[in-house]
Amino acid sequence: MTAPVMTAPASEAEAAKSKKTFWTQLSASMAMFSNRKSAAGLIILGVFILVAIFAPLIAPYDPTEQNLDATLQAPSFQHLLGTTHIGEDVFSQIVYGTRGVLVVGFLATIMATVVAVVVGVTAGYLRGWKSESLSALSNVFLVIPGLPLMIIIASQFADPPLWIIAAVLGLTGWAWGARVLRAQTMSLRNRDFIQAARANGEPLHRIILVEMLPNLMALIASSFVGTMTAAVLGLTTLAFIGVIPVSNLNWGTILFWAQQNSAFPDYWWWYVPAGLCIAFVGVALALINFGIDEYVNPRLRSAGERARAMKKKGLNVNDAVTAVRTADDEESQA
């Protein structure tokens, strides 16, 4: 009779390696931003955030400082992006205008995302008239024309503060995200782990916060990015058409004054930089969304992982026929 084979216990190094640490969990949670496109988007958005934070240190002039001896000057070393019709430095206005755009964009997006998560997840988990009522509320806000409502509300204030503008944008921007989250929550509520949590008598708030929300984070992030894009475009649109007072400096007000003073097309330095900033923010958010789409879609995620693995091996992912690496090729490269 042979003695039983005793397996050796794992070493401390292997146990430490297999144990999840804070950094491994952080790395897993940031997997949606692991590709180059989303990383580039985060870098571009981070640059704008730094410009907004350190605006007094970056801007060479006060954005409202007038110099009637230097009106409508082209870009130079003294004025990097030229001047306006009353001698205001355009570069300083762009720098300080970044604050208004990002503050309103983030505030409106946070408000809209919170409402979308509460309404969408609750409507998806509950059944009966409660779910239908919340779904009908989302449908009502989904068909409300956002821009006219924003114009009506914003025009009621002589000088609306930033949080009022953000609240208006957030109020008109949550319905789409709520619909998407409701549909995904309805799919999750019939999964085995949700049924097991309900059978164990888990309270409703714990099922939603602990069991459901971690599985909805990718969709919430995607909704956040889309809502912020709409908020930035909504703010600049309201400013460009003159609904928001010109005292609220942002890229839209720069375009408003350029249009009012017939800067198109001769004085390009007055309107092109503001338009490019709006475009760069949109591109940054779109690039971030690419990473989220790859994380959400298993096919895109596996395709991206294969493409990155092939690039590391020196293979071209666009080749019609995949090259086969032989031992001689590896020896020659070594």
Q: Rounded mean pLDDT of 25-53? A: 77
The Cα–Cα gap between 48 and 54 comes to 10
3-class SS of residue 83: strand
pLDDT band (50, 70, 90) for residue 283:
very high
The Cα–Cα gap between 32 and 293 comes to 8
- How confident is the model at residue 316, as a pLDDT? 63
- Cβ(284)–Cβ(225) below 8 Å: no
- How confident is the model at residue 62, as a pLDDT? 87
- How confident is the model at residue 40, as a pLDDT? 87
The Cα–Cα gap between 275 and 272 comes to 5
Q: How many CB atoms lie within 10 A of CB 188?
A: 17
> pLDDT digits over 298-330, tens only?
555 555 556 666 666 666 655 554 455 555 555
- How confident is the model at residue 301, as a pLDDT? 56
- How much helix, strand and coil, in percent to the nearest 5, is found in the chain? 70, 0, 30
The Cα–Cα gap between 25 and 41 comes to 22
Please report how the helices 146-154 and 213-240 are oriented relative to each other, as an axis angle in degrees rounded to 10: 60
- How confident is the model at residue 46, as a pLDDT? 92
Percent of the chain with pLDDT over 90: 13
Judge whether residue 182 has pLDDT over 60.
yes
Give the burial class of 277: count Cβ atoms within 10 A of its Cβ; 0-12 exposed, 13-18 middle, 19 or more buried: buried
Percent of the chain with pLDDT over 70: 77
> pLDDT digits over 159-181, tens only?
777 788 888 888 888 888 888 88
R_g of the chain computed on alpha carbons: 26
Residue with tokens 């144990």: 19
The residue among 182, 166, 255, 165 whose CA lies nearest residue 216 is: 182
Q: Rounded mean pLDDT of 53-72? A: 86
pLDDT band (50, 70, 90) for residue 54:
very high
> pLDDT digits over 240-259, tens only?
887 777 667 889 888 988 88
- How confident is the model at residue 281, as a pLDDT? 93
- Cβ(304)–Cβ(292) below 8 Å: no
- How confident is the model at residue 7, as a pLDDT? 46
- How confident is the model at residue 269, as a pLDDT? 87
- Cβ(218)–Cβ(298) below 8 Å: no
Judge whether residue 26 has pLDDT over 90.
no
Q: Rounded mean pLDDT of 189-208? A: 80
Q: Rounded mean pLDDT of 30-44? A: 76
Residue 62 dihedral angles phi and psi, to the nearest 5°: -70, 135
Q: Which of the residue ranges 25-39, 47-61, 76-90 would you say has the lowest mean pLDDT?
A: 25-39
pLDDT band (50, 70, 90) for residue 277:
very high
pTM value > 0.85: no
